[in-house]
Chain A
Amino acid sequence: EIVLTQSPGTLSLSPGERATLSCRASQSVTSGFLAWFQQRPGQAPRLLIYGASNRATGIPDRFSGSGSGTDFTLTISRLEPEDFAVYYCQQYGRSPPLTFGGGTKVEIK
């Protein structure tokens, strides 16, 4: 089973600032099959990034993903008020379990 460790657990930033979220895997993620999701309070998760660096349909270009192997990053270039939420990484490249990271909460400073 691939274990995904996200850091930091909480990120306190102001609107307009840059957010950098990390996701580290215990083993190499096959073919970069790493996704990022955003979850706002009371809502279902929403796919932001797939294949480590591809934005999903309708996702603003202030969201970008990078990385390969075991180290992945989600960057939000300039935080908008609606971006304060919890973010999860997930690997979907190997046979199940299809594991999620523990999440990073981006909160308003």
Chain B
Amino acid sequence: QVQLVESGGGLVKPGGSLRLSCAASGFTFSDYYMTWIRQAPGKGLEWVSYITSGGTIIYYADSVKGRFTISRDNAKNSLYLQMNSLRAEDTAVYYCARSLGPMDVWGKGTTVTVSS
């Protein structure tokens, strides 16, 4: 079945780095744009970044620009988010989602906690 599974979350100190992964299965990964969305504890949804199917066009939210890098490996059916210079306000559940327009399939999320 169509599935997205995030991994790589954890506890990191301010200023530290983490790399999130999203493994896709059950569909042709290379046909879809992919997106990262996050949700801080008790808060709403915040779009973080997206990457087109071939990886040629990338956008970031202003809140993460210059610190986060999205990438994908279509041969491995995988999406990544390299997060550097992490701040307390980056603490959130991070979801990956596929899209060809609306985000129609989401993973269950991975939790990132930035704290000393």
Contacts and interface: CB of A to CB of B under 8 A. Distances in A.
Interface of A: 33, 35, 37, 39, 43-47, 50-51, 56-57, 88, 90, 92, 95-103
A100 B50 contact: no
A75 to B, nearest CB: 18
Contacts of B102: 33, 35, 47, 50-51, 56, 90, 92
Contact of B46 (A33, A57, A100): A100
A45 B95 contact: yes
Interface stretch (B8-16, B82-90, B104-112): B104-112
Contacts of B62: 97
Of the four ranges (under 10, 10 to 19, 20 to 34, 35 or more), the interface on chain B belongs to 20 to 34
Given A50-B101, A92-B99, A95-B59, A44 B46 contact: no
B106 A97 contact: no
A45 B62 CA distance: 23
B106 A99 contact: no
Interface of B: 35, 37, 44-47, 50, 59-62, 95, 99, 101-104, 106-109
A45 B104 CA distance: 10
A44 B95 contact: yes
Contact of A92 (B44, B45, B101, B106): B101
Contact of B44 (A33, A46, A88): A88
B44 to A, nearest CB: 5
A96 B109 contact: no
B50 A46 contact: no
A101 B46 CA distance: 9
Contact of B47 (A39, A43, A44, A97): A97
Contact of B104 (A43, A47, A99, A102): A47
Nearest to B107: A44
A49 to B, nearest CB: 9
B15 to A, nearest CB: 25
Contact of B61 (A45, A46, A88, A97): A97
Contacts of A88: 44-45
